[in-house]
A and B are shown apart, each in its own frame.
Chain A
Amino acid sequence: MPVRLPILLMVWTSSVVPHAFAQTNEDLQRRIEELELRHRAEVDALREELRTVTRNVPDGVQESESVPRRGLSEGGQTTVFDNLFNPAISVIGDFVLAGSDQDDAFDRLNRFTLRDVEVGFVGRVDPFASYQVYLHIEEETGFEIEEAYLFVDDALPDTFELKVGHYSVDFGKFSALHDHDLPMLDKPQVLQDYVGGSLRGTGVELHHWTGLGETSTLRWSAGITNGIQGDAHSMFGPAAGHAHSHDGEGVDSFGKRHFENFAFHGRATAVVELGSAATLQVGASIAYQPKAVRFFEDASMQPFRRSFEQRITGLDATYRNVDEATGRGFVLVGEALWSTRELSDDGIDVSRVGAFGGHVYGEAYLGRQWSVGATAGSFEHAEDASERSSDYGAFATWKVDEFNRLRLEARRFQDPGPDSFGISMQWTVILGTHGHGIPW
């Protein structure tokens, strides 16, 4: 028995211990590798941190004095006029080649047209307001202040905001858009006829929005301006040629302005999310001018004036369903407008015209670059409701990139006169800063 115990111990030692050592070695090896990797990661992280720190720390206390001056000479005494505080500038060019068998009273068709060069300046005035200026430059008419307004935001409580100056009135779906921002070449014809393309005015406009639950918003605006007049740079349609905004024109020349010379407008719109990709927007708008002055010519071509009352109401709905991951989807828009105009001579009614019109627009996004769409519209003329015009057309848009867009459009026009056809190629270029804004 005493002999067998050492033998057993030897057998056990020779079989188990080397295996245990091998296992320990493997563990140690693995542990060393892990530590090595971890150590390398930590060193990398420390190097990264060191780079960050050295990057953010100025070289010396004189650093601020050695910063190169911009806008002034190197020896400038102050940075007050440094252009670091200059407004952001953008330039947009809209180049159109339009062909048609229409009579062209404005010399815009069957030729190249630089329809619009817009120069924009946007910047903060102070912590409470921003200022935005958009200048429109055109080949023939030259220079025009399209919009210039102060936007008071943080000075007002809750989500109230106030627009003060000359601006596109918040009315309907397309009225406030500049022509180069449209999904098609021109403003819908009914909008051109009833409000002159874009309702522009000089005055004040109050905005407010509120959340309806977690996924909906209700926004409204109300404003008062000197008058309501249209502004458009359309190639086709009732406002083709050029229509500048001159709100309240002539009123001052013919005597004292009264409260009824002001125009009022308002809009309420709700946007509701329907799932992860779809939104539905419904809106209602109104613009009302109790009394303005309009000039006519009598038989002997002598000008005379008449009082002019105008009311335009609109309803619009937009359904948008776009997959943000692929850019594919579609948008459908419908808008109906009612126009009422009354002309009178010293309080005696001369005529009252009520007209109705509308348009629909649909666009399918085939991806982030390509889209195809169609529009159609029909309306009774605001001046003479017994006359009616309609149009329909299709377009294809290629967004070459974020700053470069090409569009081909064809359209058929049915007017009281002979029917006509138009085709256009549009090239829009954007330089500099621009915001995509909020689509509401």
Chain B
Amino acid sequence: MAFLGRRVGQWPAPNIRSTLRTASRIAASILSAAIAAPLVAQVNVVTTTPDLADVVRTIGGDDVDVHTLTTGEEDLHLVTVRPSFLVQVHRADVFVQLGFDAEHAWVPALLQKAKNRAVRPGGAGFCDASVGVTPLQVPASVTRDAGPDLHPRGNPHYNLDPRRMKTVARNVRDCLVRVDEAHRAGYFERHAAFEEAIDRHHATWKKLLEPCRGSAFIENHRTWIYFADAFDLRIVGSLEPRPGLPPSAKHLADIIELAKRENVRLVVARPRFAELARRVAKDCGADARILQIGSLASGRGWLAFMDDIVAQFASVLGPGVSEAGDDGSRDRDVKGRGEGGRGARGSGEPDRNRSRCP
């Protein structure tokens, strides 16, 4: 009898023992895969910022799958919720937010719509990274008279302080342990290593900025208070007259006058305020540095971001520093520039003599 061009009788005789062995191996593989599946399943973590994603990734290792909702370039107060946000939060085991009302305009609605009670406040998978962080710039009176962009619980940009990021790391570790007790040892081990890495980098950063203690700089928006506190720098003014208010011509004139009086050598601003910062820096004879205020999703993580930031500050306020910390130089990351940002001299011409601490 022909069957697909081959006679049945031509099939090799079946070897029952071999067949049974193969079948048992397949069955064992399926069984072990079924048993192992829950063990190797990763904890699905969603964070609001790349900084937090990096901390989760460092502490969670291969036990977590991390997604950040923002890229690090947005204004965290004004994020538009996209479909992927809903899908990700709906499926998440853990949700990590910066807190201090930084995400007040979109996270509450997102958490409500995503219908995942496990990651809402009160749920095991909700992690407010700011718990235990000592806030700065807590308004004495909560009124919009103090500015539209006011945070009643304090300034939310504590990710610029390595000491406070250690508190974040502990919060993340505890939350991961809460939802995934089976990998407790791994979380604790990686957390300890991360804390050590923070300490190591912190020591280097302090050494780099040690000669700049007490140096004055101007910020665009109330962002750098934790950084200044961590490294003993002075913020003498802000381009915004009140948080969230665009500057008037008179305010800018006052700031320039103040900068000259205080011998300010640095003006820092986020990229979308670059032109303004450069203009003010030029008028007061300072350097402008256009910096991100957190790591980018496409970057190399929080430690590398801080390396960049410290290097940027040291390059202006320090004695002509070229090193950038433990693991790299400034001009790196996407599009050939440092993750922290790109420097720009207000005058357009380099002036080495000004790059020194007062």
Chain A interfacial positions (CB closer than 8 Å to B): 33-34, 37-38, 40-42, 44-45, 48-49, 51-52, 55-56, 153-154, 158-159, 161, 209, 211, 213-217, 271-273, 276, 279, 322, 324-327, 367-369, 401-404, 431, 435-439
Residue pair B244, A279 in contact (C-beta under 8 Å): no
Contact residues in A for B75 (Cβ distance below 8 Å): 324, 327, 368
**A41 to B161, alpha carbons, bound, how many Å?**
12
Query: In this assembly, does B271 line the interface, its C-beta being within 8 Å of a C-beta of chain A?
Result: yes
Q: How far is the CB of A210 from chain B (nearest CB, A)?
A: 9
B30 at the A interface (CB under 8 A): no
Contacting pair B134 A435 (CB below 8 A): no
The chain B residues found within 8 Å of chain A, CB to CB, are: 70-71, 73-75, 77-84, 86-88, 90-91, 105-106, 108-110, 112-113, 115, 117, 132-134, 144, 148-149, 162-164, 166-167, 199-200, 202-204, 206-207, 230, 244-246, 271-272
Once bound together, how far apart are the Cα atoms of A52 and B105, in whole Å? 27
Contacting residues, chain B, for A326 (C-beta < 8 A): 271-272
Tell whether, in the assembled complex, residue A436 and residue B106 are in contact, meaning their CB atoms are under 8 Å apart: yes
- Secondary structure type dominating chain B contacts: helix
A402 touches B148 (CB 8 A): yes
Given contacts A44-B163, A211-B90, contact A325 B83 (CB under 8 A): no
Bound-state Cα–Cα, A216 to B82, Å: 9
In the complex, how many angstroms separate the beta carbon of B151 from the nearest chain A beta carbon? 13
* Least distance between A252 CB and chain B CB atoms (Å): 36
A273-B84 in contact (CB<8A): yes
Q: List 9 A-B contacts (CB under 8 A).
A: A37-B204, A41-B199, A52-B133, A52-B167, A159-B115, A325-B74, A327-B75, A401-B244, A435-B109
Residue from A41, A49, A55, A214 within 8 A of B206 (CB atoms): A41
**Top 8 A-B residue pairs of the complex, sorted by shortest distance between their CB atoms:** A325-B73, A211-B87, A37-B203, A401-B148, A324-B74, A217-B83, A215-B84, A48-B163
> Does B105 contact A435, Cβ atoms closer than 8 Å?
yes
Docked pose: A128 CA to B230 CA in angstroms: 44
Q: How far is the CA of A322 from the CA of B106 in the complex (A)?
A: 17
User: Is B148 a contact partner of A403 (Cβ separation < 8 A)?
Assistant: yes
Q: Which of chain B's residues has its CB closest to A438's CB?
A: B81
Residues B163 and A38 in contact, CB atoms below 8 Å apart: no
Check B108–A38 contact: CB distance below 8 A.
no
Chain A residue nearest to B77 (CB atoms) is A402
Given contacts A211-B90, A435-B105, A435-B109, contact A401 B245 (CB under 8 A): yes
Scoring B71, B199, B203 by chain A CB atoms within 10 A of each residue's CB, the highest score goes to B203
Nearest CB on A from B160, distance (A): 14
